[in-house]
Each structure stands twice: as structure tokens, then as C-alpha cells.
């Protein structure tokens, strides 16, 4: 089974509109058609940058998608500070990261909320990138696979195979995010394989084989090759290295090899 790779940049709370337009344009300027054969490319900037970045990609007619970094599960209402699926939809946002460890850790996002967000996104035809991953304490305890499996099961509660296939799961060990410390290819493969096995139990092997599982956590041009060579790693969710045109483009080009 060959799955098309996916390289998604998580810009986090970086880039004003002006800066976002510059970076989007720089990425566009490097775009080559062979990228599209090798991988899907997505950038996930802050909410205010989504439309400007989308406009750059549309104007240049390059198939680079945009994704949000969070969403609320209700369509509208008294939820001060939140953004809904229809709002994302209207600006042409095709993807949305949910359950990022920074949202779970700093903003208390729970497995149940991740599940509600996943369902709302699927209903609105925006593809969820569902983040899971263990802390260093969990890894040291030796319970990583149980912990991550439980996160996956909770995220997909009440979701059927036809809906699940639209989702991407990103394995992001918290101890590797923004720390410069990457999981070894073997560590990342072990957990991504366990995620796929869980998806197979939930939805059947054929669906699990179709779904993309990404690795995220200090992925950079120096370590990308060995990570994406692993059989169950279908690309990357990239933080720091997605903020510079040179490194992001190098990560995309690693998929061409």
C-alpha cells in the first residue's frame, strides 16, 4: 500500500500577516510540480494568517493547502475567542490540527474535546490532523504504547471507518517538541506502527493502511530521511523547521528521494 506523504508546517503563534505572506510567497517561489507527485504540502499558520496565506497559494495556483491549529466544535454561539468549522471552511481551510500537546498542556484540551472537534471537522469536510504523544514521564515509565493507544481510541470514539479515513494522526512525543531532541527512527516507528495497529482494530486493516500517520518532534533536514523511511511514518508535522523557507523546502524535497 503506498500512501501519499504529507508534510505539514505548524507555525504555532508565529508570523504576523505581513510575515506570513512573505513566507507563503517564498515557499510558492520554490514550488515544483514534482512536489505534488511526492507529497501533500500544508501550512498551518495562526488564524489571522489563514486567508492571506491561502490567497498567495491560490494566486500562484500552487497546490499547497492551509490548515488551522485549533477549532471549536460548535458552529456558532457565545464562545468568546473561538473559531468554528464554517468560519474555517469559508476561507478555504482544508485541514485542522487538533489535540496538539501545547493545547492539551497549556489550555487543558481533553481527549473528549479532541473527539468533538474531530467529529465537527469531519462533518464540515475539513481534514483533522489529530496529535497524540507521551510525556517524558510516561516514556520513562514504559507505558508509551498504552498511553498513545488510549489517546487514539478516545479521539476516534463514535467515528466510523468512512469518516476515519479522512483523518491523519500525528505522533508527537512531547519530549521531542521544540527541544531539538528527536525520537530515534526506531522509537518513532514503534509508536506509529502501534497507532496503525490500533486504527486497524477500530476500522479494519484496509482503512488503517489508507490512513496517514505522521511523526512530529524536532524533525529537520538532518533527520528527516531516516524518519520518513520508516514503513509506518507517512510524513511530518513540523514546527520550528517550518518557519524558514530553506528548511521547510528541504523537508518537502526529502519526500522526492
Q: Whose Cβ is closer to ligand PEP: residue 126's or residue 219's?
A: 219
Closest distance to ligand PEP from the beta carbon of 78 (Å): 30
Measured CA angle at 213 (ends 66, 39), to 5 deg: 50
Q: Is 223 in the site for ligand PEP (CB under 6 A)?
A: no
Q: Which of 52, 65, 128, 216 binds ligand PEP (CB under 6 A)?
A: 216
b or e along 88-108 (b: 16 or more beta carbons within 10 Å of the residue's beta carbon)?
A: beeeebbbbbbbbbbbbeeee
The least CB distance from residue 223 to ligand PEP, in Å, is 11
Give the nearer residue to ligand PEP in terms of CB position, either 39 or 203.
39
Q: Are 192 and 236 in contact (CB under 8 A)?
A: no
Instruction: Give the shortest CB-115-to-ligand PEP separation in angstroms.
Output: 20
Are 205 and 211 within 8 A, CB to CB? Answer: no
Cβ count near 203 (within 10 Å): 20
Q: Which residue among 109, 134, 172, 253 is the active-site one?
A: 172
| DSSP characters over 208-253 | HHHSEEEE-SS--TTTHHHHHTSTT--EEEESGGGSSHHHHHHHHH
Using CB under 6 A, pick the residue from 69, 84, 218, 223 that binds ligand PEP.
Answer: 218
As given in the structure block, the three cell numbers for residue 169 are 494522526
Active site residue 172: yes
Task: Return the residue of 172, 232, 234, 253 that touches ligand PEP, per CB under 6 A.
Answer: 172
Residue 134 is among the residues annotated as catalytic for this protein = no
- Which residue numbers are catalytic? 100, 172
Which residues of the shown chain bind ligand PEP in the complex (CB under 6 A)?
Answer: 10, 172, 177-178, 216-219, 237-241
Amino acid at each position: 500500500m503506498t500512501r501519499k506523504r504529507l508534510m505539514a508546517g505548524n507555525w504555532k503563534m508565529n508570523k504576523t500577516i505581513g510575515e506570513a505572506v512573505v513566507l507563503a510567497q517564498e515557499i510558492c517561489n520554490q514550488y515544483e510540480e514534482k512536489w505534488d507527485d511526492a507529497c501533500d504540502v500544508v501550512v498551518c499558520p495562526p488564524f489571522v494568517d489563514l486567508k492571506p496565506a491561502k490567497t498567495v497559494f491560490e494566486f500562484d495556483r500552487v497546490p499547497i493547502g492551509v490548515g488551522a491549529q485549533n477549532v471549536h466544535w460548535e458552529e456558532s454561539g457565545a464562545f468568546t475567542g473561538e473559531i468554528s468549522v464554517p468560519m474555517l471552511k469559508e476561507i478555504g481551510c482544508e485541514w485542522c490540527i487538533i489535540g496538539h500537546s501545547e493545547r492539551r498542556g497549556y489550555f487543558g484540551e481533553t481527549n473528549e474535546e479532541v473527539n468533538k472537534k474531530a467529529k465537527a471537522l469531519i462533518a464540515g469536510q475539513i481534514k483533522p490532523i489529530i496529535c497524540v504523544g507521551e510525556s517524558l514521564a510516561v516514556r520513562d515509565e514504559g507505558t508509551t504504547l498504552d498511553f498513545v493507544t488510549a489517546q487514539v481510541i478516545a479521539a476516534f470514539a463514535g467515528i466510523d471507518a468512512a469518516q476515519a479515513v479522512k483523518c491523519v494522526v500525528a505522533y508527537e512525543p512531547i519530549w521531542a517538541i521544540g527541544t531539538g531532541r528527536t525520537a530515534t527512527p526506531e522509537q518513532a516507528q514503534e509508536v506509529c506502527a502501534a497507532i496503525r495497529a490500533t486504527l486497524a482494530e477500530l476500522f479494519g486493516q484496509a482503512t488503517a493502511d489508507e490512513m496517514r500517520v505522521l511523526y512530529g518532534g524536532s524533525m529537520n533536514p538532518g533527520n528527516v530521511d531516516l524518519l520518513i523511511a520508516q514503513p509506518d511514518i507517512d510524513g511530518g508535522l513540523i514546527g520550528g523547521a517550518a518557519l524558514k523557507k530553506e528548511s521547510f523546502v528541504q523537508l518537502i524535497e526529502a519526500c522526492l528521494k
